[in-house]
Amino acid sequence: MTEHRSPDTNFRTSLLEENDGPGANPTDNQTMGEIIAARFSRRGFLQGSLAATAIAATVSPLALILADDARAAGGSAFSFDEVEAGVDDKHHVAAGYDADVLLRWG
């Protein structure tokens, strides 16, 4: 019995496919596992992880500093008094502002 081996047998998926009874890929083409492994190599994964870590390390402290500055400034970004909560048939707007209804449904 001749044993069919792929050109690169280092991939676990290739070994599983070869030992899984009759081959699903009788040609010399690469298996799906080999294609995926070639595209997503360990080195590529590590490079992507390093890039994501660098971005997270750069952005997170900056965001924390800006959030602390905004918190230290205090107050609200809105310049109007709060409208009292209530349920009625009127449309309530803060003093000095107006609102127009574009579509009235219901």
pLDDT of the residue at 51: 92
Report the predicted TM-score, pTM, of the whole model to 2 decimal places: 0.29
Percent of all residues in the chain with a pLDDT value above 90, rounded to a whole number: 4
pLDDT at 15 over 60: yes
Alpha helices in the chain (DSSP H): 12-18, 32-39, 42-73
pLDDT at 2 over 80: no
Band (103; pLDDT cuts 50, 70, 90):
confident
Sign of CA dihedral 79, 84, 88, 90: negative
